Amino acid sequence: MINFIRQYKKIFVILADLITVSVIAWLSFFLRFEGSIPNGQINNLTIFIVFSLILNLPIFYWQKLYHFTWAYVGLNEFYRLIKSTLITTLVLTALIVIFRDSKYITGFPRSIIFISAFLNIFFIGTLRLSKRFFIEFAQGKRDHGQNTLIIGADNLAEELARSVLKNKRYNLIGFIDNSEIKQKNLIHGKPVLGKIKKLPFL
């Protein structure tokens, strides 16, 4: 059952990317020609949409952009998106240069490729991060659960804080750490409240 749900989510994301990449290809032409795509560019637009789909989706899959958990989407996934877009941009540029004298590609504006790359990063990145933003917003609104303090303010404490913040049973109040320089620092928006000796008074 769990595997079925995972596959369902993956298919949903792939379909969303398919639609997004197609719209981005059209929008790139729309912006390049200031809102009026010439009839002579319709063939180029069609070819660009097809090649964008053929290249983007397999490269996204290769870069494991469909192997993630929504709640943990972060900079690593965003880096892979930029890397994927860069690879796609280089391949598309090479194809346009190679086939520029072909009867199938006439007057193709190279700027389209770079406009598309920027829009890919912006829109697909937003799509990937949207649910995480929603989850973190919901967590910020949450005022129930067992009040919780984390002892320590190091990397392990930061990882533990992520898990606690995603668990509705707990309400993270802050951190306790003996380091003087960490006092009053914020980790995921939660403060270091004091040293361990202060624990009985919290």
pLDDT mean values, one per 10 residues, the chain (202 residues): 60 88 95 91 92 92 74 71 92 86 80 93 83 62 73 87 83 87 84 82 65
> pLDDT tens across 152-171, in order?
888 888 888 888 887 778 88
pLDDT at 2: 47
pLDDT at 54: 93
pLDDT at 105: 79
User: C-alpha angle with apex 144: 142 to 149, nearest 5 degrees?
Assistant: 95
Distance (Å, whole) CA 66 – CA 138: 24
Distance (Å, whole) CA 185 – CA 202: 17
Distance (Å, whole) CA 128 – CA 81: 10
Distance (Å, whole) CA 11 – CA 126: 18
Structural domain spans, the chain: 2-139, 142-201
Exposure of 92 by Cβ count < 10 A (0-12 exposed, 13-18 middle, 19+ buried)? Answer: buried
pLDDT at 102: 76
Nearest one of 167, 171, 168 to 189, comparing CA atoms: 171
pLDDT at 21: 93
CB 92 within 8 A of CB 28: no
pLDDT at 106: 80
CATH 3.40.50.720 fits 142-201, yes or no: yes
> pLDDT tens across 119-147, in order?
999 998 888 777 666 666 665 555 567 88
* Predicted model pTM: 0.62
pLDDT at 117: 93
